[in-house]
C-alpha cells in the first residue's frame, strides 16, 4: 500500500506544531514549503524560518520559492505527487492551479472561528474586538481568502489575562490537535463532512500596523486594555504617562467615574499607575522606558517618585 503523501506549507513558529502533527500522523511528509530566508536581528543576517529549521532537523526536503505563480514552480510541486497539501500561515496566496495539484486538494489551519476574522491577524483582532471566544478551523481551501468550507473546529475562551502571545501559543497547539484528528480520519478512510461558511458575520482581520499600537486615552479604558493585550508581544502598545512616552506591556481597565482630563495620572502606587480615560480608568502595571527593559509600575515609580500617591 502506498504511503499517504503530504506537502506541508508554513513559515512562522505558529506552524511548527502542525508540521509535527503531520510527521506523527502516519502520513509521509514528502516536502516542506516555506518563505525564503529573511534578514533578521541587528546584523540583518539571513535567517531561516522556524518551519525550515524544524523540517531540516527532521530531514525533510525544503522548498523556498518566492512565488508559486510560475509553471515551473507548479511543476516542481506536482513532482512530489502529494495526496494532500497542508497550509498553516505560509504567507503566499495559492491560485486555483496550485490548489488543484494535490489529489485531495489543500487544507488550511486558520486561527479563528470562520467566517469571523478571515485574513492575516485573526488572533490580535479577536482580542481587540473584545471577543469572548475564538478557536481554530480546519478548512478545505478555495481560491478566496479563507472562504473554504470548514472540516473540523476547536474552540477556546478568551480571558482577560490572555495576550496576543498567550493566545497565539494556545491556538498553535489547538491547530495541531485539530489537524491530527483530520489526518487520522482521512488515513482511516473516513470522509470528512465539509460545512460551508455562513455568509453572515464575515469579518476581516487586516494585517497589524505599528501605528495602531498608540494609545488614545480619550477612548474607553476597556478598549485600551484590549489594545495592550492584543499587541503583546508585537508591536507593543505605546502611550504617554506624565510627559514620558512609554511602551505599555500590561494594563487593565477599572470602572471608575472621574472628571479628570483623559491621559492624566490620577493615582500612582505599587499596584499600578491609574490613568483617566474617556470612560473609566486604565491601570498600567508593566511598562518600558526608551532604551530600557520591561519593568513593573512599582520599579518605574522608584525612578519617578514625584508621581506617587493621589493627584
pLDDT digits (tens, 9 = 90+) for 172-183: 999 999 999 999
The pLDDT of residue 213: 96
Q: Which of 199, 197, 127 is nearest to 168 (CA)?
A: 127
Residues 37 and 150 in one domain: yes
The pLDDT of residue 311: 53
Q: What is the DSSP letter of 269?
A: E
Residues 157 and 193 in one domain: yes
Mean pLDDT of 121-133: 98
Could you give the number of structural domains in the chain?
A: 2
pTM score of the predicted model: 0.95
Residues 51 and 76 in one domain: yes
pLDDT digits (tens, 9 = 90+) for 188-234: 999 999 999 999 999 999 999 999 999 999 999 999 999 999 999 99
- The CATH number of the domain where 299 resides is what? 3.10.25.10
Enter the C-alpha cell of residue 218. 480619550
Q: What share of residues in the chain are helix, strand, coil (percent, to 5)?
A: 30, 30, 40
- Mean pLDDT of the chain, nearest integer: 96
**Measured between alpha carbons, how far is residue 138 from residues 84, 125, 220 in Å?**
13, 19, 35
CB 171 within 8 A of CB 126: no
Residues 69 and 82 in one domain: yes
Does 172 carry a binding-site annotation? no
Residues 193 and 275 in one domain: no
The pLDDT of residue 80: 98
Does 112 carry a binding-site annotation? yes
Enter the C-alpha cell of residue 17. 506544531
Owning domain of residue 127: 5-205
Confidence class for position 41, pLDDT limits 50, 70, 90: confident
Residues 75 and 172 in one domain: yes
| Residue positions counted in the chain | 311
**Measured between alpha carbons, how far is residue 124 from residues 17, 58, 91, 136, 169 in Å?**
20, 31, 17, 14, 12
Residues 252 and 197 in one domain: no
Residue the block writes with cell 522548498: 63
Does 114 carry a binding-site annotation? yes
Residues 109 and 28 in one domain: yes
Residues 69 and 180 in one domain: yes
The pLDDT of residue 292: 96
Question: Which region among 91-95, 114-118, 155-159, 172-176 has the lowest average model confidence (pLDDT)?
Answer: 91-95
pLDDT digits (tens, 9 = 90+) for 222-271: 999 999 999 999 999 999 999 999 999 999 999 988 889 999 999 999 99
Residues 252 and 154 in one domain: no
Does 235 carry a binding-site annotation? no
117: left (phi over 0), alpha (psi -120 to 50) or beta: left
- The CATH number of the domain where 141 resides is what? 3.40.50.170
Domain final residue, candidates 153, 170, 205: 205
pLDDT over 90 (residue 40): no
Residues 178 and 299 in one domain: no
Amino acid at each position: 500500500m502506498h504511503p499517504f503523501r503530504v506537502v506541508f506549507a508554513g513559515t512562522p513558529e505558529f506552524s511548527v506544531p502542525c508540521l509535527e502533527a503531520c510527521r506523527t500522523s502516519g502520513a509521509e511528509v514528502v516536502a516542506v514549503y516555506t518563505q525564503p530566508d529573511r534578514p533578521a536581528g541587528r546584523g540583518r543576517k539571513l535567517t531561516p524560518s522556524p518551519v525550515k529549521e524544524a523540517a531540516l532537523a527532521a530531514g525533510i526536503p525544503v522548498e523556498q520559492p518566492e512565488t508559486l505563480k510560475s509553471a515551473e514552480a507548479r511543476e516542481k510541486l506536482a513532482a512530489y505527487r502529494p495526496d494532500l497539501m497542508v497550509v498553516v500561515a505560509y504567507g503566499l496566496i495559492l491560485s486555483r492551479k496550485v490548489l488543484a495539484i494535490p489529489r485531495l486538494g489543500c487544507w488550511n489551519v486558520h486561527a479563528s472561528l470562520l467566517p469571523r476574522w478571515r485574513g492575516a491577524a485573526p488572533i490580535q483582532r479577536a482580542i481587540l474586538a473584545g471577543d469572548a471566544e475564538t478557536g481554530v478551523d480546519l478548512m478545505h481551501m478555495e481560491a478566496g481568502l479563507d472562504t473554504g468550507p470548514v472540516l473540523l473546529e476547536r474552540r477556546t475562551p478568551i480571558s482577560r489575562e490572555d495576550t496576543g502571545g498567550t493566545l497565539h501559543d494556545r491556538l498553535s497547539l489547538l491547530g495541531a490537535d485539530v489537524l491530527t484528528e483530520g489526518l487520522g480520519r482521512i488515513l482511516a478512510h473516513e470522509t470528512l463532512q465539509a460545512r460551508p461558511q455562513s455568509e453572515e458575520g464575515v469579518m476581516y482581520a487586516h494585517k497589524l500596523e505599528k501605528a495602531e499600537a498608540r494609545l488614545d486615552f480619550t477612548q474607553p479604558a476597556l478598549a485600551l486594555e484590549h489594545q495592550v493585550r492584543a499587541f503583546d508581544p508585537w508591536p507593543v502598545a505605546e502611550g504617554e504617562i506624565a510627559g514620558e512616552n512609554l511602551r505599555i506591556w500590561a494594563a487593565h481597565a477599572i470602572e471608575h467615574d472621574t472628571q479628570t482630563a483623559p491621559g492624566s495620572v490620577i493615582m500612582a502606587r505599587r499596584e499600578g499607575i491609574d490613568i483617566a480615560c474617556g470612560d473609566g480608568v486604565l491601570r498600567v502595571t508593566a511598562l518600558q522606558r526608551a532604551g530600557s527593559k520591561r519593568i513593573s509600575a512599582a520599579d518605574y515609580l522608584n525612578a519617578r517618585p514625584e508621581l506617587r500617591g493621589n493627584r
